[in-house]
Amino acid sequence: MNNYLLSEAIGDISGMPYEFRERTKNYAAVNLLNPRNNYTDDTVCTFACADALLHDLDMAKTLRKRCRDDFNRGYGGRFFNWIIADELEKPYFSYGNGSAMRVSAAGFLATTPDECIDLARLTAAPTHNHPEGIKGAAATALVIFHALRGESKEWIRSNILKLYYPDWYMYSYDYIKRDYDFDETCQRTVPAAIITFLESNSYEDCLKLAISLGGDADTLGAISGPMAYAFYKEMPEELIKNAKAKLPGWMLELSEEFDVEVNRRLAAKKTQTTYTYKYPRPAVTADCMVITREQPQRILLIQRGNEPYKGMWALPGGFMNMDETAEQCASRELEEETGLKVNELQQIGAYTAVDRDPRGRTVSVAYLAVVDAAAEVEGGDDAARAEWFPISELPELAFDHGEIIRDGLKMY
């Protein structure tokens, strides 16, 4: 495959003539090669984010520079003020759909779901740092990531749409189209774009469905287009040709460079051992609760460095490798995230709530370790910090780790 970034640009370009007063709900009236079409802010921002991710550049500075260099592309009011400010300003807590329309590079470049979420957060953070803005970017990128790797539409509906936008899970395209109107929030744009992709039968059909929703046409196309390309793996040649004729040279050069890197990463992944099963399968994690004998008793926690629950406190833990037991995983994660080694672990139990992890279906096996005193620890790997907390002064915890601690205390 090639032209990964163009899958967003084509959606944006195709939807541009049907914005605002030209909105339509007539599928047959949509002409993807409308002579008035052109790229908008959606594409400038998408390529800027791709540039930053590909070349390890500062995201905010790159986004601002590229947008200032291509000034008259229909930027939203708050974003426009952000790019024209004399100095780089702080994020303004937006939950607009701009975070989702510019995130496709994260979905294509990522090699794991966790990395996908992290890259999506990076693209959103300069301006769209509201939880809904970050959620919209993450959900969009994850659909692209999993579609590119062959997951079914049923899987995507059950594991991404249901998880991120549960109120939309059972909606059909026809149902949402009846009352759908112009909306620039992630909360109403992203699930609508996902449903549009899920009910399409080709890349071209997906764009026409997105545009004929009667909403923010270019952005719906920019969001759903990469999903459709990742899944169907082809786009009409005339749409590719039209986009290349409209885009500036730096975008075309970046597109080619981006293709090479995405294909390199996909090829490298294929050389690794893969596992395919007939039935859906959960991921397995292990968590470790470490408590002191010394009074006042303390529990070791880490502050999460990545989404989900970035910045919240949790028990040390992580995903189990294929060549280790759950106990070995708990011991390894404890050492990687805190520097602490323990000699003996007792199993507290297995935690299997369906919705315990927003990344997907995850089962955790939890372990208890008892140490004499609070040794020196330091955050490492995925942990931003590691600290000992008195049992009576625990902070709010991520996941279901409060339940794990309560069960562990009953054992001690």
Q: Of the residues 209, 237, 270, which one is the last residue of a structural domain?
A: 270
**In-domain check, residue 277:** no
**pLDDT exceeds 90 at position 215:** yes
Q: What is the pLDDT of residue 340?
A: 95
Q: Note whether 47 and 135 are same-domain residues.
A: yes
Q: Note whether 259 and 287 are same-domain residues.
A: no
**pLDDT exceeds 70 at position 131:** yes
Q: What is the pLDDT of residue 8?
A: 98
**pLDDT exceeds 60 at position 286:** yes
Q: Note whether 402 and 306 are same-domain residues.
A: yes
Per-residue confidence band for 411, with pLDDT thresholds at 50, 70 and 90: confident
**pLDDT exceeds 60 at position 273:** no
**pLDDT exceeds 70 at position 278:** no
Q: Note whether 309 and 335 are same-domain residues.
A: yes
For 386-390, what is the mean pLDDT?
Answer: 96
pTM for the predicted model, two decimal places: 0.69
| CATH code, domain carrying 357 | 3.90.79.10
Q: What is the pLDDT of residue 339?
A: 93
**pLDDT exceeds 80 at position 270:** no
Distance CA 358, CA 247 (A): 37
Domain limits for position 120? 6-270
**In-domain check, residue 278:** no
Q: Note whether 111 and 18 are same-domain residues.
A: yes
**In-domain check, residue 275:** no
Q: Note whether 149 and 43 are same-domain residues.
A: yes
Percent over 70 (pLDDT), the chain: 98
| CATH code, domain carrying 149 | 1.10.4080.10
**In-domain check, residue 1:** no
Per-residue confidence band for 274, with pLDDT thresholds at 50, 70 and 90: low
**In-domain check, residue 92:** yes
Percent over 90 (pLDDT), the chain: 89
Q: Note whether 164 and 34 are same-domain residues.
A: yes
Q: Note whether 259 and 386 are same-domain residues.
A: no
Lowest-confidence pick of 118-127, 229-238, 287-296, 357-366 = 357-366
Per-residue confidence band for 123, with pLDDT thresholds at 50, 70 and 90: very high
Average pLDDT along the chain: 94
**pLDDT exceeds 70 at position 276:** no
Q: What is the pLDDT of residue 231?
A: 97
Tens digit of pLDDT for each residue in 297-348?
999 999 998 888 889 999 999 999 888 899 999 999 999 999 999 989 999 9
Q: Of the residues 270, 300, 324, which one is the last residue of a structural domain?
A: 270
**In-domain check, residue 135:** yes
Q: What is the pLDDT of residue 358?
A: 84
Q: What is the pLDDT of residue 252?
A: 98
Instruction: Show Cβ contacts of residue 208 under 8 Å, excluding neighbours closer than 6 positions.
Output: 27, 30, 32
Per-residue confidence band for 147, with pLDDT thresholds at 50, 70 and 90: very high
Per-residue confidence band for 404, with pLDDT thresholds at 50, 70 and 90: very high
Distance CA 43, CA 131 (A): 23
For 147-161, what is the mean pLDDT?
Answer: 94
**In-domain check, residue 295:** yes
Q: Note whether 15 and 47 are same-domain residues.
A: yes
**pLDDT exceeds 80 at position 212:** yes
**pLDDT exceeds 70 at position 271:** no
Domain count, the chain: 2
Residue with more model confidence, 203 or 19: 203
Q: Note whether 190 and 66 are same-domain residues.
A: yes
User: Using CA of residue 112, residue 113, residue 114, residue 116, what is the dihedral sign?
Assistant: positive
Per-residue confidence band for 29, with pLDDT thresholds at 50, 70 and 90: very high
For 71-80, what is the mean pLDDT?
Answer: 94
Q: Note whether 221 and 320 are same-domain residues.
A: no
Per-residue confidence band for 183, with pLDDT thresholds at 50, 70 and 90: very high
**In-domain check, residue 343:** yes
Per-residue confidence band for 280, with pLDDT thresholds at 50, 70 and 90: confident
Per-residue confidence band for 355, with pLDDT thresholds at 50, 70 and 90: confident
Q: What is the pLDDT of residue 400?
A: 95
Q: Of the residues 270, 300, 318, which one is the last residue of a structural domain?
A: 270
Q: Note whether 259 and 116 are same-domain residues.
A: yes
